[in-house]
Amino acid sequence: MTAPGRDFASPALWWDGITRSAPEPPLETETTCQYAIVGGGYTGLWTAYFLKQRQPQADIVLVDAQQIGHGASGRNGGWLMGSLEGLSTFANADGTLAEPVRRTLNQLVTDAGKALSEANIDCDFYHGGCLMAAARFDAQTDRARAALEHFRRLGFSDEDYQWLSPQRLKERVSVAKPGGGIYTPHVARVQPAKLVAGLTTVVKALGVRLFEHTRANNLSPGRVTCDRGIIHADHIVIATEGYSEHGSPLHRRIVPVQTGMVATEPLSASQWDELGLHQRETFADFSRAATYLQRTADNRLVVGARGHYQLGGLPQHSLSDDDALRRHREKVALSLFPQLRGVTFTHSWGGSVGVSRAWQPHVIHDRATGMATAGGYVGEGVGASFLFGQTLADLLTNTPSERIHMPWVACREIAALKKWEPEPIPRWGFNTLMSIFRFEEWLASRYGGSLASALVAKLCDRLTPH
């Protein structure tokens, strides 16, 4: 199947050249269904897909306030990971993750690949694993070793997270300062917009009723009141994540944090010979505010780095990012790969991820009211939404599975999710944290090994969530 989509005339690389026949209509009447899904990103779409796998006759309505794929699902870095943000918060008292939890996560990428191929969705899925490296300054080597220990404590084996000496790292990727790193097979690359567009086509073909430009303004058990229509539903799934605004029960329970990407022009074979990543591995360095990249199917380098928090805790609707952020991301890319100097960066864009107060993802099902939600992924929702969409479908259809017993699943009220402090406290907190992380990097790159650098690193260790 060719991935459909629409031409957003987009600053986001992913939407360039993707066209779709017609937008979905807005909901302008009163309608009744079994399952109403609010939010057309991966969480909403995978939930609809797996509901249809379990109950082919199910009547499902999915609405999005804008276009399907408007949120993070149409803008991300395309790392489909067999991991979750805040993994250690799901550990047992002895510090390890239960064996079924590790198995579920280790299986996730392969399962997603199978599901994509069964659904005939072409989204440039490539299961090349991931290199996480000390790559820009010496202090990153200690962080890489600490990360490996962390994975070992959780119970992951050498097959899951394997140490690479500086020499072995250098053989795989030619970074500025190879200080060693970790290879994991549990990451695949995808083209995010092709995934969202492919899923949309599939669920529509399965009979899911789709409505765009339909904002749910009020949600109560059994009823979704939209701007121009009403949905009566036995079950309601809220999948609004980092775009949860007034009207969503997740407003202030999930706050939006902005992050963004830059993309180069397609690089030549000889440039790739110099860079490495021949197995099309994804790549990240050990900076606190995540610097991550992928080699695309058309041989570009797409690099994401750094977040910020908007005034008023508002999500980022526009795709384009400001120039300072673009320049910063280009600078980070060049400091990782000085050999890219002179390459043209063709695209720059940003969007919002969703962060819960506990800084960990969740699947919640309230049996009494029929309301459910999944999210709080921070920057790790591409793979997680595949797993959580299946989990929601299991819970809503009473299908027994190992998934519904995972430690991130709770059967309780959505209102039990803790609210964030009022604005501007989260903004101050987040932006201060980012400034301290920036200062740490600045110190480490100029005065690495100094007492000041070590003290600030200690402070950052304490401040890093989980």
Ligand X SMILES: Cc1cc2nc3c(=O)[nH]c(=O)nc-3n(C[C@H](O)[C@H](O)[C@H](O)COP(=O)(O)OP(=O)(O)OC[C@H]3O[C@@H](n4cnc5c(N)ncnc54)[C@H](O)[C@@H]3O)c2cc1C
**Residue 453 Cβ vs ligand X, minimum distance, rounded to whole Å:** 29
**Residue 122 Cβ vs ligand X, minimum distance, rounded to whole Å:** 19
Angle at 230 between CA 234 and CA 409, to 5 degrees: 40
User: Residue holding tokens 């280790």?
Assistant: 106
- Comparison of 81 and 175: residue with beta carbon closer to ligand X: 81
For the chain, the residue count is 466
Residue nearest to ligand X (CB): 381
**Residue 301 Cβ vs ligand X, minimum distance, rounded to whole Å:** 14
- Comparison of 11 and 351: residue with beta carbon closer to ligand X: 351
**Residue 231 Cβ vs ligand X, minimum distance, rounded to whole Å:** 11
The closest of 391, 411, 375 to 250, measured between CA atoms, is 375
- Comparison of 84 and 444: residue with beta carbon closer to ligand X: 84
DSSP annotation of 173 reads B
**Residue 59 Cβ vs ligand X, minimum distance, rounded to whole Å:** 19
- Comparison of 63 and 393: residue with beta carbon closer to ligand X: 63
The closest of 75, 72, 49 to 60, measured between CA atoms, is 49
In the complex, the residues that contact ligand X under the rule CB under 6 A are: 38-44, 63-66, 70-73, 75-79, 81, 215-216, 239-245, 247-248, 259-261, 304, 350-353, 375, 377, 379-383, 385
Please say whether the beta carbons of 316 and 266 come within 8 A.
Answer: no
Please say whether the beta carbons of 87 and 426 come within 8 A.
Answer: no
DSSP annotation of 161 reads S
**Residue 80 Cβ vs ligand X, minimum distance, rounded to whole Å:** 7
| DSSP string for 333-375 | HHHH-GGGTTPPEEEEEEEEEEEETTSS-EEEEETTTTEEEEE
- Comparison of 139 and 293: residue with beta carbon closer to ligand X: 293
- Comparison of 195 and 443: residue with beta carbon closer to ligand X: 195
**Residue 241 Cβ vs ligand X, minimum distance, rounded to whole Å:** 3
**Residue 230 Cβ vs ligand X, minimum distance, rounded to whole Å:** 13
- Comparison of 73 and 335: residue with beta carbon closer to ligand X: 73
Q: Which spans in 301-450 are helix H?
A: 323-336, 381-396, 425-447
- Comparison of 42 and 137: residue with beta carbon closer to ligand X: 42
- Comparison of 41 and 229: residue with beta carbon closer to ligand X: 41
**Residue 176 Cβ vs ligand X, minimum distance, rounded to whole Å:** 22
**Residue 432 Cβ vs ligand X, minimum distance, rounded to whole Å:** 21
d(CA 410, CA 374): 10
- Comparison of 78 and 179: residue with beta carbon closer to ligand X: 78
The overall longest dimension of the chain from CA atoms, in Å, is: 66
Please say whether the beta carbons of 301 and 264 come within 8 A.
Answer: yes
d(CA 169, CA 307): 27
User: Residue holding tokens 């962080």?
Assistant: 143
- Comparison of 384 and 444: residue with beta carbon closer to ligand X: 384
Residue 410's contacts (CB-CB under 8 Å, 6 or more residues apart) are 362, 363, 364, 365, 416
**Residue 98 Cβ vs ligand X, minimum distance, rounded to whole Å:** 22
User: Could you tell me if residue 288 is left (phi over 0), alpha (psi between -120 and 50 degrees) or otherwise beta?
Assistant: alpha
Sign of CA dihedral 425, 428, 432, 435: positive
Q: How far is CA 31 from CA 60, 222, 228, in A?
A: 11, 12, 12
Indicate the residue type of 266.
P
